A = this chain, B = another copy of it.
């Protein structure tokens, strides 16, 4: 080996080592700042407790937008703005109810008569669901465990309330796999049942929680069929109904009040740190600001919002001047329309923006385990080289494939590489879209570590490009 070559190798590897050390050092500074002076948890407390539910079109949405814009500026954004988009405006309209009438023997001496009493179930109307008639919808329940079973028993469906009792599969280790597997019943169940003349639909909640909270989420009506009302039922109640139906018939009354108002104005909230060297190259990080109306939305996706803002705050506090422009985005209307994500991509395309990477946190504020990445082979190779630097902070599992609902449109419009934070998924579907998705279900350090891991990736992408 020639001396000069040897020298170069030593020189470059020393330089590589130096920059590796410098990176490791700066990431440690990020982590120390967030773990010592982090604001994400208190910001989440405000968003969850003072603002609360923020479904598209609601007063909560407007309050959350104001909060987000102010916080972006307070946290040090060079500028912050609202990006307008029209959002759907579905309204629950009242309390969702479901009951059956049960013959109960009083068993009181001298009062031998049996009486009918109402047995209430813990239900929540699916998002976008039509309401029932004012007096409620009463019909016999037809339990099916799958679409296949419904197809086979289609003759029985007419006039009934079809109960999709498809179970959340406990044997998938990553719970998003169970969700991917079961969510079609929530999305397509109502129209699948309406196709055969059903009058209403009950969905077994998409969860393996140990409680009985019902879990909502968007349903989508196929315009070819009647828009029949649909509710999700808690798991213990789902098992109760299933047991009852083994003994005989069961009729229930459902009362829901959902309806749509005309589309209204919503906004993505965007904060920006301007790049010093390549200001036209943009890195986006965000979560969605809307949440379902039956919960605080602390995990889904208050966590993603406050993590994005925490990264902004931390870069600012550490005096970090990014080479590239970093955008911190709180997306509008992920839950029942995705209009925010679509708008962000549309404008980026219209303005011919150059997006280097988009990162999303929308899987809860749980302890981080990994980062997923979608991009070219070359980019993925680069991404994998950063694993060693990030792993000590929790994301030791680096996957091929990753993205998210809100950044998907940017990827499709511009081919922007995407990354997703993968927190541990075991507890997510205990609370997802249920009343238990509250601030108290979020652990401070787990939330902070999520921000640290994403900040580290953003720092590396900003410094080295992709």
Contact = CB atoms under 8 A, between A and B. Distances in A.
A392 B35 contact: no
A322 to B, nearest CB: 24
A173 B396 contact: no
Contacts of A367: 367, 424, 426
B396 A397 contact: yes
B424 A31 contact: no
B35 A171 contact: yes
Contacts of A424: 367, 424
Given A173-B392, A367-B426, A445 B397 contact: no
B369 A173 contact: no
A35, A175, A394, A426 — most chain B CB neighbours (10 Å)? A426
Contacts of A445: 170, 175, 208, 426-427
B32 A171 contact: yes
Interface residues of A, number: 27
A393 B173 contact: yes
A36 interface: yes
A208, A397, A444 — most chain B CB neighbours (10 Å)? A444
Interface string A417-459: 0000000101100100000000000011110010000000000
A151 B173 CA distance: 52
A205 to B, nearest CB: 16
A426 B446 contact: yes
Nearest to A447: B426
Given A173-B31, A173-B394, A392-B173, A427 B446 contact: yes
A224 interface: no
A210 interface: yes
Nearest to A38: B170
Contact of A443 (B392, B396, B397, B426): B426
A197 B32 CA distance: 38
A31 B396 contact: no
Interface string A92-111: 00000000000000000000
Copies in the complex: 2
Interface in A356-408: 367, 369, 392-394, 396-397
A432 to B, nearest CB: 14
A431 to B, nearest CB: 11
Given A396-B397, A426-B445, A445-B208, A36 B369 contact: no
Given A171-B32, A173-B31, A430 B449 contact: no
Interface in A332-369: 367, 369
Nearest to A391: B397
A210 to B, nearest CB: 6
A446 B427 CA distance: 8
Nearest to A42: B210
Contacts of A393: 173
A170 B36 contact: yes
Interface in A119-149: none
Contacts of A369: 369
Contacts of A427: 443, 445-446
Nearest to A209: B444
Contacts of A31: 171, 173
Contacts of A36: 170-171
A449 B369 CA distance: 15
A393 B208 CA distance: 17
A149 to B, nearest CB: 21
Nearest to A32: B171
A186 to B, nearest CB: 21
A430 B444 CA distance: 10
A314 to B, nearest CB: 14
Interface of A: 31-32, 35-36, 41, 170-171, 173, 175, 208, 210, 367, 369, 392-394, 396-397, 424, 426-427, 430, 443-446, 449
20 contacts: A32-B171, A35-B170, A35-B171, A36-B170, A36-B171, A41-B210, A173-B394, A208-B444, A367-B424, A367-B426, A369-B369, A396-B396, A396-B397, A426-B443, A426-B445, A426-B446, A426-B449, A427-B445, A427-B446, A430-B443
Given A32-B171, A36-B170, A175-B445, 9 more contacts: A35-B171, A41-B210, A170-B445, A208-B444, A208-B445, A369-B369, A426-B449, A427-B443, A427-B445
The 5 A-B pairs with the shortest beta carbon distances in the complex, nearest first, are: A35-B170, A426-B445, A32-B171, A367-B424, A426-B446
